[in-house]
């Protein structure tokens, strides 16, 4: 009797075994499918961005033989910096382009010809002369940035085989570019301007540095405010506050704030910081304040979780050897909770770095050429720069946009990597 039931149980188990294994296999397969889907999207994102954006790290330059004629730069001959800076450098550029193509004489043809060289060439020559007035009177070979259309042509984004009416450059201009190419006067170089320049409406002169500095100041303000406030709040709520109605309300509100759409914080920032306090529009200071409001809940919640994970035995031991409550917290609990708090802070900062919506309301979505010198100067931030470039009509901004996304992603990956390393290195398991 007993024997048969036993057998029966085994039979039942055995009969279902294959099905159970299959179910387990399927369950694992779902997980693998989910992960590979995620990876697939990630790879697609990276491939599309990198394939579009890597071109922006190189820029086409044209070699011109420039005659730094004294009468055009400094007619008085005093080498006075003010006079030097207002010299007619545009004319120097035109002169040297004409020299490269002496056969071009018609007025409209000349205008077409001048379009091959970026307006940045003028500033380049001026900067050179300002840095070294000795150049005046000499003739130098200077590499100057080519126009964005030439750049697109050289990079193959303008199809030379299309009918003339359908492309940005006409046959004559392409002929000139080919002539320059054959003479070795066109070269693709590493695009340093992209990493050192501010924004520009000329794609060949546009750089990400202004936005990066703006992001830096904004995050600095955010960090300086949200970290101490967040940590203090977390410590008080976790270690000191009594459990009652009020702390419950505060807790619910903090959790709620974490879920408020960021544009709401932007509106709040506009109403309070700009209209009420009269802080300057478009300044990283205001951006930082607004983003502080946004990251605070993240930091508080992460901070409380980190404090909670410190085992009570540590506190009891400290109190047991006679430490005060404050000594217990500052000497023992806080240092042990710090890696967790820092991780939360860095993740909050990374979120703040990628935020645009609240900045729209406070005027940080703006065209700003000058690189901000402090948290009070008008500035924009990396994601806003991406948005502005994506909206520009010039074709060459397409690759700039992708390149800017790569820079932003680079920062985000670096920040998250720091968070992971901090956790790995200092995390203690109890």
Partner 1 sequence: MKKSVILAAALSTILSTSAFAASRDAINIVGSSTVYPFTTVVAEQFGKTSKFKTPKIESTGTGGGMKLFCAGVGVEHPDMTGASRRIKKSEFDQCQANGVKDVIEVKVGYDGIAIANSKKAAPFALSLKEVFLALAKEVPDPSSEAFKLIENPYKMWNEINPALPASKIEVLGPPPTSGTRDAFVELAMEGGCDKIDAIKAEKKTNEKNHKRICHSIREDGVYIEAGENDNLIVQKLDANPNALGIFGFSFLDQNSDKVQGSTIDGVLVNFDAIADGSYPVSRPLFMYVKKAHIGTIPGIEEFLAEYTSEKAWGDEGYLADKGLIPMPTEERKKFADDAKNLTPLSM
**Residues near partner 1, by CB under 8 A:** 111, 115, 119, 123, 158-159, 162, 165-168, 200-202, 221, 224-225, 227-228, 274, 277-282, 285, 363, 365-370, 375-376, 378, 390-395, 398
Phi, psi of 377 (to 5 degrees): -75, 150
Q: Least Å distance between CB 246 and partner 1?
A: 26
| 176 vs 227 by CB, closer to partner 1 | 227
| 123 vs 195 by CB, closer to partner 1 | 123
Question: How many Å apart are CA 28 and CA 116, to the nearest integer?
Answer: 59
| 103 vs 166 by CB, closer to partner 1 | 166
Cα radius of gyration rounded to whole Å, the chain:
31
Q: Least Å distance between CB 44 and partner 1?
A: 17
| 170 vs 253 by CB, closer to partner 1 | 170
Give the 3-state secondary structure of residue 229: helix
Burial of 324 (0-12, 13-18, 19+ CB in 10 A): exposed
| 209 vs 376 by CB, closer to partner 1 | 376
Cβ atoms of 120 and 204 within 8 Å: the answer is: yes
Output the CA angle 222-227-230, nearest 5 degrees. Answer: 115
Cα 413 from chain centroid (whole Å):
11
Phi, psi of 65 (to 5 degrees): -95, 105
Question: How many Å apart are CA 63 and CA 271, to the nearest integer?
Answer: 53
Q: Least Å distance between CB 179 and partner 1?
A: 23
DSSP of 120-176: HHHHHHHHHHHH-GGGTT-EEEEEEEBPHHHHHHHTT-S-TTS-GGGSSS-HHHHHH
Q: Least Å distance between CB 34 and partner 1?
A: 29
| 390 vs 418 by CB, closer to partner 1 | 390
| 239 vs 251 by CB, closer to partner 1 | 239
Sign of CA dihedral 410, 405, 52, 44: positive
| 281 vs 428 by CB, closer to partner 1 | 281
Q: Least Å distance between CB 391 and partner 1?
A: 5
Output the CA angle 330-318-238, nearest 5 degrees. Answer: 50
Q: Let me know how long the chain is.
A: 430
| 30 vs 367 by CB, closer to partner 1 | 367
Question: How many Å apart are CA 337 and CA 345, to the nearest integer?
Answer: 12
Output the CA angle 95-96-102, nearest 5 degrees. Answer: 85
Cβ atoms of 402 and 308 within 8 Å: the answer is: no
| 185 vs 307 by CB, closer to partner 1 | 307
Q: Least Å distance between CB 200 and partner 1?
A: 6
Question: How many Å apart are CA 73 and CA 429, to the nearest integer?
Answer: 71
Q: Least Å distance between CB 115 and partner 1?
A: 8
Q: Least Å distance between CB 201 and partner 1?
A: 5
Q: Least Å distance between CB 176 and partner 1?
A: 17
Q: Least Å distance between CB 385 and partner 1?
A: 13
Sign of CA dihedral 230, 235, 236, 237: positive
DSSP of 31-52: HHHHHHHHHHHHHHHHHHHHHH
């Amino acid at each position: 009797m007993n024997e048969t039931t036993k057998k029966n149980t085994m039979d039942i188990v055995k009969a279902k075994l294959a099905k159970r294994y299959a179910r387990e296999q399927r369950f694992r397969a779902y997980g693998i499918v989910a992960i590979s889907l995620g990876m697939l999207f990630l790879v697609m994102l990276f491939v599309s961005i990198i394939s579009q954006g890597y071109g922006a790290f190189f820029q086409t330059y044209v070699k011109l033989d420039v005659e730094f004629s004294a009468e055009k730069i400094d007619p008085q001959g005093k080498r006075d910096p003010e006079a030097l800076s207002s010299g007619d450098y545009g004319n120097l550029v035109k002169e040297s382009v004409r020299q490269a193509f002496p056969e071009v004489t018609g007025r409209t043809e000349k205008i077409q010809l001048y379009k091959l060289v970026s307006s940045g060439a003028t500033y380049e020559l001026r900067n050179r002369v300002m840095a070294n007035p000795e150049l005046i009177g000499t003739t130098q070979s200077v590499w100057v940035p080519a126009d964005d259309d030439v750049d697109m042509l050289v990079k193959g984004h303008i199809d030379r085989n299309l009918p003339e009416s359908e492309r940005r450059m006409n046959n004559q201009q392409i002929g000139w570019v080919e002539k320059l190419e054959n003479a070795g006067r066109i070269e693709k170089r590493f695009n340093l301007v992209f990493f050192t320049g501010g924004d520009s409406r000329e794609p060949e002169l546009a750089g990400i540095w202004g936005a990066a500095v703006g992001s830096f100041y904004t995050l600095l303000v955010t960090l300086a405010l949200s970290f101490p406030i967040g940590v203090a709040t977390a410590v008080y709520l976790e270690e000191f506050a009594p459990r009652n109605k009020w702390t419950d309300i505060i807790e619910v509100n903090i959790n709620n704030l974490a879920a408020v759409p960021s544009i709401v914080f932007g509106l709040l920032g506009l109403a309070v910081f700009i209209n009420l306090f009269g802080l300057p529009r478009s300044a990283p200071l205001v951006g930082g304040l607004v983003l502080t409001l946004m990251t605070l809940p993240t930091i508080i919640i992460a901070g409380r979780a980190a404090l909670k994970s410190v085992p009570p035995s540590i506190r009891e031991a400290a109190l047991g050897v006679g430490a005060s409550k404050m000594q217990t917290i500052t000497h023992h609990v806080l240092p042990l909770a710090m890696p967790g708090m820092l991780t939360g802070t860095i993740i909050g900062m990374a979120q703040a770095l990628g935020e645009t919506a609240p900045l729209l309301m406070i005027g940080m979505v703006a065209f700003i050429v000058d690189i901000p010198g402090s948290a009070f100067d008008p500035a924009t931030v990396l994601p806003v720069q991406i948005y502005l470039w994506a909206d520009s009509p010039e074709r060459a901004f397409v690759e700039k946009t992708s390149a800017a996304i790569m820079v932003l992603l680079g920062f985000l990956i670096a920040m998250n990597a720091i968070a992971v390393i901090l956790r790995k290195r200092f995390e203690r398991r109890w």
